[in-house]
């Protein structure tokens, strides 16, 4: 290990991080240096802008704004241009009128008369370069952009239009933001696919049809994907063209505000899947080459290109780029009332190699050595983003959530900024779905290694919270397979009816689907995530319309109608997931990660048992063997009751266990616990027991 510092000279700025993980001690000076880079920016913003929160109010100055007297202002940063004209439907696209004034910082501004631009009319900025070249661009801070009409598409115009959005009737939020739970149960959702019909779903349809299902299931958080405008639907929202515009294909800005407000009325917090890791390469309707230079928002030359994603990379060390990105975050918190963010592509941001062709062994030198390939400007931006959420949240007395999508496992990512970390509240436990898929692909049921499974589920950094999940949208995409598909794809189209005999494939699939989800939920993190439809074993993959499928929407949908059909077995998985979420809401095991004792991992019997949050979890993964009077150690004596039984018929089980039975402990040490109780454990069944205190 590279010795860069010792305990005797640990800087106070990172003492909190090192107290929690003494193995960070040799890297204390590098950690302190990284923190100082962000702290220097905070000091600079305090001096220049009145603080980071005020700096992030850039969206109130840039772009279009209607003042109290009805006059309109417009401001754009385009330092490489020498002239700018505002053009649009409002002035019949006159290229010579409405010239903007340029200041010494490269900002162009113009003031327009009252009501001079009609609502939802098209606008563009015409930039003139020193060479005389003229560029037609969509304003970078535009809040609405719409696709070309069919007629325009036929003429070869594929670029989006910028729209001036100022409706007479603006949505007024009615409900307060709910308190963020310490047990995050996240329902990851995509508006466009949230309908059984082969079409693009709308914000209003999601509000009326999907929000009640999410509430019924017991999830307390929604993570909305593909909200930031993206010209290519099949990019799943990860090729953003217009950062301040929400996707118009689902409806209007007012529709999204209503969705979030209704979610808040149901005590559901809403997170945005924010994409600041890269941007679309589109020029005519994106940020690329906006003012004619390749270095305005992005790094110049090859450094500004993400080769694997075919996209552009932001220059996080640039003052106005930081203003743009931090303002983008605050814009969504303010204007749309989002409650936080899941930051996409954090691994790509953290490293100069963007994670391409690089594995991570876990050696601290890979992340923390001063010569490691960490992009310190990007790291600084992520720290500042978390500073913004903390400071603004303190101002309005609301806890904003930040989640990092990082596969590298960088230490200190989830440690608070005040202790010397990056400041994320959670990281995604991305090793878990990989583990489950590897097991289902490569191992026979009788060969499942409980020790390895438990180790992977619990192997996360101390004091850095993780969101556990067994599958997300990644596994639902065409080319991959969901757990339900790995388990049952051979018969999902033929044998999911209750009118047909229960086959071994479907029986096994339903049983293991429940056990995998319960085990991941109870051991895999301090939060839990599910991608919509996976809770009931959605029978098809996800494939957006593209040239390879003849622009079909057949697979770009979620068939919620399947769980409403009493003759189909999907309802069993839905009901189990519902019971699981509501049970956690009662006992809060996600919020008590340290209250956990694993007493049994019997590889021969395939039985696993552990105590958590005053509950006893017992799993029998054996494909054939059922056990009578199976002895399980437990610390607290008393009378126990079954509070969740995966073998219950309402979950598609075989009703082999009497849920009403009272189970008493015996005062005799077993498996290092002071007491034991005895259970009937059918094969492929999980039980959750609670102390009966009646």
- d(CA 236, CA 228) in angstroms, rounded, equals 10
* Catalytic annotation, pick one of 261, 405, 464, 471: 405
Q: What angle do CA 347, 348, 349 make, to 5 degrees?
A: 90
Of the candidates 76, 273, 344, 577, the residue annotated as catalytic is 344
Tokens representing 686 are 């999980």
CA dihedral 74, 78, 81, 86 (to 10 degrees): -20
363 is catalytic: no
Q: How far apart are CA 517 and CA 512, in angstroms?
A: 8
Nearest of 266, 246, 163 to residue 203 by alpha carbon: 246
SS3 content of the chain, % helix, strand, coil (to 5): 35, 25, 45
Nearest residue to 686 via CA among 653, 662, 660, 664: 653
Give 347-376 as a 3 state SS string.
HHHHECCCCCCCCCCCCCHHHHCCCCCECH
CA dihedral for 291, 295, 298, 300, sign (positive or negative): positive
Query: What's the half-sphere exposure (Cβ side, CA atoms, 13 Å) at 52?
Result: 26
405 is catalytic: yes
Q: Within 13 Å, how many C-alpha atoms sit on residue 324's CB side?
A: 26
CA distances from 116 to 98, 127, 170, 590, 687 (A): 12, 21, 19, 54, 67
The pairing of beta strand 527-531 with beta strand 184-190? parallel
| Closest to 469 (Cα-Cα) out of 512, 438, 427, 430 | 430
Q: What is d(CA 76, CA 142) in angstroms, rounded to the nearest whole number?
A: 10
Structure tokens at 548: 């390879």
Which of 408, 392, 279, 277 has its CA nearest to residue 343?
277
Residues known to be catalytic: 344, 405
């Amino acid at each position: 290990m590279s010795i860069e510092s010792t305990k005797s000279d640990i800087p106070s700025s990172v003492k909190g991080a090192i107290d929690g993980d003494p193995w960070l001690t040799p890297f204390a000076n590098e950690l302190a240096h990284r923190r100082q880079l962000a702290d220097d920016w905070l000091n600079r913003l305090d001096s220049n802008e009145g603080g980071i929160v005020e700096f992030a109010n850039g969206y109130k100055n840039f772009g279009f704004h209607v003042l109290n007297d009805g006059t309109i202002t417009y401001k754009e940063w385009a330092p490489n241009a020498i002239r700018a004209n505002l053009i649009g439907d409002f002035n019949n696209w006159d290229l010579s009128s409405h010239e903007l004034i340029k200041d010494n910082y490269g900002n162009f501004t113009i003031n327009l008369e009252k009501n001079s631009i009609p609502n939802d009319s098209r606008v563009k900025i015409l930039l003139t370069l020193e060479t005389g070249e003229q560029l037609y661009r969509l304003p970078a801070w535009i809040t609405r952009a719409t696709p070309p009409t069919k007629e325009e598409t036929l003429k070869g115009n594929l670029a989006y239009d910028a729209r001036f959005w100022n409706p007479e009737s603006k949505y007024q939020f009615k409900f307060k933001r709910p308190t963020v739970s310490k047990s995050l149960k996240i329902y990851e959702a995509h508006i466009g696919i949230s309908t059984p019909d082969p079409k693009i779903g709308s914000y209003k349809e999601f509000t009326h049809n999907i929000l009640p299902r999410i509430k019924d299931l017991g999830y307390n958080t929604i993570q909305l994907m593909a909200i930031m405008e993206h010209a290519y639907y099949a990019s799943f929202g990860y090729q953003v063209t217009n950062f301040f515009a929400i996707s118009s294909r689902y409806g209007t800005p007012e529709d999204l505000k209503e969705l979030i407000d209704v979610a808040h009325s149901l005590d559901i917090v809403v997170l945005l899947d924010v994409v600041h890791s890269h941007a679309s390469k589109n020029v005519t309707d994106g940020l690329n080459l906006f003012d004619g230079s390749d270095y305005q928002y992005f790094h110049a030359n090859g450094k500004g290109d993400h080769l694997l994603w075919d996209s552009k990379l932001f220059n996080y060390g640039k003052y106005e780029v930081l203003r743009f990105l931090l303002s983008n975050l605050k814009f969504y918190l303010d204007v749309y009332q989002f409650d936080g963010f899941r930051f996409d592509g954090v691994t790509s941001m953290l490293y100069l190699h963007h994670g391409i062709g690089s594995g991570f062994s876990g050696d601290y030198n890979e992340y923390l050595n001063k010569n490691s390939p960490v992009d310190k400007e990007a790291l600084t931006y992520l720290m500042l983003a978390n500073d913004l959420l903390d400071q603004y949240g303190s101002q309005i007395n609301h806890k904003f959530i930040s989640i990092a999508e990082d596969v590298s496992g960088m230490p200190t990512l989830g440690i608070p900024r005040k202790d010397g970390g990056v400041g994320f509240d959670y990281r995604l436990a991305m090793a878990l779905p990989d583990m489950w898929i590897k097991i289902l692909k490569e191992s026979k049921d009788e060969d499942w290694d409980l020790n390895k499974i438990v180790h992977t589920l619990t192997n996360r950094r101390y004091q850095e919270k993780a969101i556990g999940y067994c599958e997300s949208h990644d596994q639902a995409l065409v080319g991959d397979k969901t757990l339900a598909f790995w388990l049952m794809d051979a018969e999902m189209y033929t044998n999911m009816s209750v009118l047909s005999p229960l086959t071994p494939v479907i029986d096994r699939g339903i049983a293991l689907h429940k056990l995998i989800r319960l085990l991941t939920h109870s051991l895999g993190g301090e939060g839990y995530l599910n991608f919509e439809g996976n809770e009931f074993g959605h029978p098809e993959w996800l494939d957006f319309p593209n040239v390879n499928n003849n622009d079909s929407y057949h697979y770009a949908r979620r068939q919620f109608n399947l769980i409403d059909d009493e003759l189909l077995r999907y309802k069993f998985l839905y009901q189990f997931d519902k019971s699981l979420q509501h049970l956690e809401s009662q006992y809060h095991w996600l919020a008590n990660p340290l209250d956990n004792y694993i007493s049994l991992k019997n590889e021969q019997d395939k039985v696993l048992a552990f105590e958590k949050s005053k509950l006893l979890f017992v799993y029998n993964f054996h494909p054939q063997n059922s056990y009578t009077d199976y002895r399980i150690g437990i610390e607290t004596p008393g009378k126990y009751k079954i509070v969740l039984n995966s073998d219950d018929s309402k979950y598609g089980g075989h009703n082999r266990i009497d849920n009403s039975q009272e189970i008493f402990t015996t005062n005799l040490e077993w498996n290092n616990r002071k007491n034991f109780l005895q259970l009937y454990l059918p094969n492929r069944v999980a039980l959750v027991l609670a102390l009966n205190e009646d």
